[in-house]
């Protein structure tokens, strides 16, 4: 599956394939027919399980991996074909932050942030104010002269972010940047990335296996499975109407909306002949996310509703909720029709006696 192209793409993957030669002359295909646009100024999250191909995808954006076929362009420049000075120029426009920070233990916070500027040949008179400005941006003024061993995980990641911004890139890549952090520190780092995206207009492409990270920061997302993009689009739309089983699996983990065992163990795909209950997923989106529609269903239609599980989430500033309910199977179609007429989404999960 691909996301439609747009002329404002900062990063574009066009029919990308990546294969590796494994031992025993076996060919391993890591990515297949990946077509995806990341619009300038967006935060795009790529989510997938370990081995899905997301790290390979990310590494091709700054030329650390070259596609076997297809093209990757950054700001209109073909990364796979770039060599020498052109590739170095692209890499200066692409900052990267890492899961395990990758800081030099022998350098202070200031020294780590100044390093990319030194490598780029920036005059020393320009390096100091630039580095100090970045230290202030990530809130580490008091730690400027400390070494990595003296920093917490969150502080180390802030150094990594500041270092990635040193060359004033147009694109920022995040390689599982919050996976090694506790939940509270993760939220702090995500808030910093949101601020950077807003203040600098920076395009951010992040990979993760945590749906909560995508929910909390990404304007757009793509789900990768077996080296293919199986679903992509605005984050809100994907959360509200997931189409692929892999997406639904990730969503069940982040929302906690799963059927109780005493229901799931008895769930049948087809309606039995005897008296039964229809199990329905109801999605409340947008303006209807907090409407008391189930109470209205009972009051107006006389349909009794059993609530099995539920939660209300927020994507950006837009709320949405998921409820798992059961109703008399004989009234299931009537109940779903009523809910859908009032702007809700419904899905039959099965039947129980």
Q: Encode pLDDT of 209-237 as tens digits.
A: 888 899 999 999 999 999 999 999 999 99
Say whether both 188 and 287 belong to one domain: no
Say whether both 204 and 291 belong to one domain: no
Residue 104 pLDDT exceeds 80: yes
Q: In whole angstroms, what is the distance from residue 42 CA to residue 218 CA?
A: 8
Residue 37, domain CATH: 3.40.50.300
pLDDT the model gives residue 1: 38
Could you say which of 194, 229, 253 is where a domain stops? 253
Could you say which of 198, 228, 253 is where a domain stops? 253
pLDDT the model gives residue 73: 95
Q: In whole angstroms, what is the distance from residue 327 CA to residue 238 CA?
A: 26
Q: In whole angstroms, what is the distance from residue 337 CA to residue 234 CA?
A: 27
Q: In whole angstroms, what is the distance from residue 345 CA to residue 337 CA?
A: 10
Say whether both 68 and 33 belong to one domain: yes
Other residues' Cβ atoms within 10 Å of the Cβ of residue 13: 25
pTM: 0.84
What mean pLDDT value characterizes the chain? 89
pLDDT tens per residue across span 30-77: 999 999 999 999 999 999 998 899 999 999 999 999 999 999 999 999
pLDDT the model gives residue 227: 94
pLDDT the model gives residue 3: 44
Percent of the chain predicted with pLDDT > 90: 63
Q: In whole angstroms, what is the distance from residue 149 CA to residue 156 CA?
A: 9
Say whether both 241 and 271 belong to one domain: no
Residue 2 pLDDT exceeds 60: no
Say whether both 82 and 190 belong to one domain: yes
Q: In whole angstroms, what is the distance from residue 324 CA to residue 73 CA?
A: 43
Which domain, by its residues, includes 313? 258-352
pLDDT the model gives residue 255: 64
pLDDT the model gives residue 217: 93
Say whether both 272 and 245 belong to one domain: no
pLDDT tens per residue across span 114-126: 999 999 899 999 9
Q: How does DSSP assign 81-125, residue by residue?
A: T--HHHHHHHHHTEEEEETT----TTS-HHHHHHHHHHHTT--HH
Q: Are 56 and 31 in contact (CB under 8 A)?
A: yes
| Number of structural domains in the chain | 2
Write b or e for each residue in 30-42: b if 16 or more Cβ atoms lie within 10 A of its Cβ, otherwise e. bbbbbbbbbbebb
Say whether both 209 and 278 belong to one domain: no
Residue 262, domain CATH: 3.30.70.260
Question: What is the average per-residue pLDDT within 257-280?
Answer: 84
Write b or e for each residue in 113-128: b if 16 or more Cβ atoms lie within 10 A of its Cβ, otherwise e. bbbbbeeeebeeeebe
Say whether both 293 and 201 belong to one domain: no
Question: What is the average per-residue pLDDT within 158-170?
Answer: 95
Q: In whole angstroms, what is the distance from residue 74 CA to residue 62 CA?
A: 9
């Amino acid at each position: 599956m691909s996301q439609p192209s747009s002329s404002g793409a900062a990063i574009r993957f066009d029919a990308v394939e990546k294969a590796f030669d494994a031992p025993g002359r076996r060919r391993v295909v890591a990515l297949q027919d990946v077509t995806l646009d990341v619009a300038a100024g967006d935060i795009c999250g790529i989510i997938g399980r370990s081995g899905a191909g997301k790290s390979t995808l990310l590494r091709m954006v700054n030329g650390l991996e070259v596609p076997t076929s297809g093209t990757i362009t950054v700001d209109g420049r073909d990364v796979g074909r770039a060599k020498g000075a052109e590739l170095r120029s692209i890499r200066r426009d692409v900052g990267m932050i890492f899961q395990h920070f990758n800081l030099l233990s022998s350098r202070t916070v200031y020294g780590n942030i100044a390093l990319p500027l030194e490598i780029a040949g920036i005059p020393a008179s320009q390096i100091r104010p630039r580095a100090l400005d970045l230290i202030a941006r990530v809130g580490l003024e008091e730690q400027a002269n400390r070494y990595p061993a003296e920093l917490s995980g969150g502080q180390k990641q802030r150094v990594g972010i500041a270092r990635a911004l040193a060359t004033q890139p147009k694109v920022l890549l995040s390689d599982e940047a919050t996976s090694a952090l506790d939940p509270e520190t993760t939220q702090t780092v995500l808030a910093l990335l949101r601020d950077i995206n807003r203040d600098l207009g920076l395009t951010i492409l992040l990979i993760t296996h945590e749906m909560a990270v995508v929910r909390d920061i990404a304007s757009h997302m793509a789900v990768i499975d077996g080296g293919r993009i199986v679903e992509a689009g605005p984050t809100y739309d994907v959360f509200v109407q997931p189409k692929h089983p892999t997406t639904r699996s990730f969503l069940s983990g982040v929302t906690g909306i799963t059927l109780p065992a005493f229901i799931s163990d008895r769930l049948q795909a087809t309606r039995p002949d005897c008296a039964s209950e229809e199990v329905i997923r109801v999605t409340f989106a947008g303006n209807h996310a907090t409407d008391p529609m189930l109470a209205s269903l009972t009051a107006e239609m006389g349909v009794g509703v059993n609530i099995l599980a539920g939660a209300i989430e927020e994507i950006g500033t837009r709320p949405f909720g998921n409820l798992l309910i059961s109703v008399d199977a004989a009234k299931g179609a009537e109940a779903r029709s009523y809910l859908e007429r009032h702007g809700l989404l419904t899905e039959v999960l099965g039947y129980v006696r």
